[in-house]
Structure 1
Amino acid sequence: MLIHPTLDQLQALGLQGMAKAFTELDKHGDAATLSHAEWLALLLDRETTWRHDKRLSARLRYAKLRHQAAPEDVDYRSPRGLERRLFETLLSGEWIDAHDNLAICGPTGIGKSWLACAIGHKACRDNRSVLYVRFTRLLDELALARGDGRIASRLKSLASVELLILDDWGLQPLDAQARHDLLEILEDRYGRKSTIVTSQLPTASWHHAIGDSTYADAILDRLLHNAHRVELEGDSLRRTKASIGD
């Protein structure tokens, strides 16, 4: 068999996974031990795996997750009120298909951001588009976008992502522009896409944190009306791990 022309054709067709598997089979002499059907099945399997990995890498790069949090590494043993059955249901992603939201609340250091990123990582594995942003940084980005005329395109991109993670909500009071921007984002996404919000504040305090009753009613109606909730409690995991290491 002419190896190089075949490789050139595979690469020209964009079949990089098949080309790599073809080279490895030829190099190790394994092709002679396989039937034609087995040989073709192996090449197709490698192409499928290569495309999946490439797609996942692209999803993760776009997501910009704060933590490299794998769902398999979720700690259910720490005393923080994390219900395993509930969280495994959230990892399955059915609530994302239903365009529901999720609120993860609890004190600092309890792992809210990490858990949100674990859900985001699983969503990327499931070929969903994900974007992680810290809420205060997003407000700064929107202010800059408004100044240079990119605000419409920025809001459009936020509206289109299947799972938006807004981390550290409620750290500072919202001014009028921030309230307007948050309402625009949630209005565009309500019933169409899913949003995760993490906060040190309990949801009962969110109305006050928004600072304007009219906006607060509108924002919370779009955010919490269809939201699943994870309420965490206990000591900071960072402090606990630090004390164990001392």
Structure 2
Amino acid sequence: MNEKPKTPEEQLHWLKLRFMLEQYKSLADTAAKKDWSHQEYFEKLLKGETDLRWDNGINRRIRLARFPVIKTMDQFQWTWPKKINRPQVQQLCRLNFIEQKANVIFLGGVGLGKTHLATAIGYQACLKGYTVLFTTAIDVINTLSSDQAAGQLKKGLKKYLKPSLLILDELCKALHKPSYVK
């Protein structure tokens, strides 16, 4: 577009107000039928645009988090493992540790739900507006080794330092591989 937008449709398109562009006419008709004030009409448009952008942001954060599967706390089987500090784990879902820049480590044997819990907390963080990256420790080691060999280590580190929450899965697997221990 080489000219300043003139029509409401052009202006809304240029401003990237997709909901308003798609709904302003039908909402205006509804406003007229229901005798809404100008403010009520505007509030409905604004709420619709805000909701759309919030939902799109959640979907984008979930996609960029790269979860292997979506898991929630509601899906977790609290009867297995036999010994788990449920209140402490549920406290983590409040996500205070992210603001405190604290680390959380789930330790235990295979099949106890460590990945499920980490994914559920990461998913909750996405819903609350935090950026998340889920990856394996081995992938981080391999990626950073390649970046270092290419002289791009600083750039590679940014990928892992940028998210509000970094979930490193399978840390013990990486620590038990002799080639990764160095």
Which category of TM-score, normalised to the shorter sequence, fits these structures?
A: 0.7 to 0.9
Measured in 2, the distance between the counterparts of 1:60 and 1:110 equals 24
Deviation at 1:17, TM superposition (A): 2.3
Alignment match, 1:214: none
1:203-214 matches, cutoff 5 A: none
Deviation at 1:175, TM superposition (A): 5.0
Instruction: Report the 3-state secondary structure (helix = DSSP H, G, I; strand = E; otherwise coil) of the residue aligned with 1:166.
Output: strand
Query: Could you list the runs of 4 or more consecutive aligned residues of structure 1 that deviate by over 6 angstroms after TM superposition?
Result: none
1:38-117 matches, cutoff 5 A: 38-71=40-73, 73-80=74-81, 81-117=83-119
Identity %: 27
Going by fraction, where is strand more abundant, 1 or 2? 1
Q: Deviations over 1:42-74 (max 9, x none)?
A: 111111111111222221222111221234x33
User: Does structure 2 conserve the Cα–Cα contact (< 8 Å) formed by 1:123 and 1:130?
Assistant: yes
User: Does structure 2 conserve the Cα–Cα contact (< 8 Å) formed by 1:76 and 1:83?
Assistant: no
Of structures 1 and 2, the one scoring higher in RCO (CA 8 A, sep 6+) is 1
Distance 1:74 1:138, change over 3 A: same
Alignment match, 2:3: none
User: Does structure 2 conserve the Cα–Cα contact (< 8 Å) formed by 1:17 and 1:49?
Assistant: no
Alignment match, 1:163: 165
Look up the equivalent residue of 2:110 and give its one-letter code.
Answer: T
Distance 1:87 1:17, change over 3 A: farther
Unaligned runs of 5+ in 2: 1-5
Distance 1:136 1:53, change over 3 A: same
Measured in 2, the distance between the counterparts of 1:13 and 1:94 equals 35
Q: Deviations over 1:63-117 (max 9, x none)?
A: 111221234x332542323443222210111111111111112222222112101
User: Does structure 1 conserve the Cα–Cα contact (< 8 Å) formed by 2:19 and 2:45?
Assistant: yes
Alignment match, 1:140: 142
User: Does structure 1 conserve the Cα–Cα contact (< 8 Å) formed by 2:12 and 2:21?
Assistant: yes
Deviation at 1:131, TM superposition (A): 0.8
Matched, 1:30 2:30: yes
When structure 1 is superposed on structure 2, of 143-152 and 124-133 the one drifting more is: 143-152
Instruction: Report the 3-state secondary structure (helix = DSSP H, G, I; strand = E; otherwise coil) of the residue aligned with 1:165.
Output: strand
Deviation at 1:23, TM superposition (A): 4.5
Alignment match, 1:221: none
Measured in 2, the distance between the counterparts of 1:111 and 1:103 equals 13
Unaligned runs of 5+ in 1: 181-246
Instruction: State the Cα RMSD in Å.
Output: 2.3
Distance 1:129 1:179, change over 3 A: farther
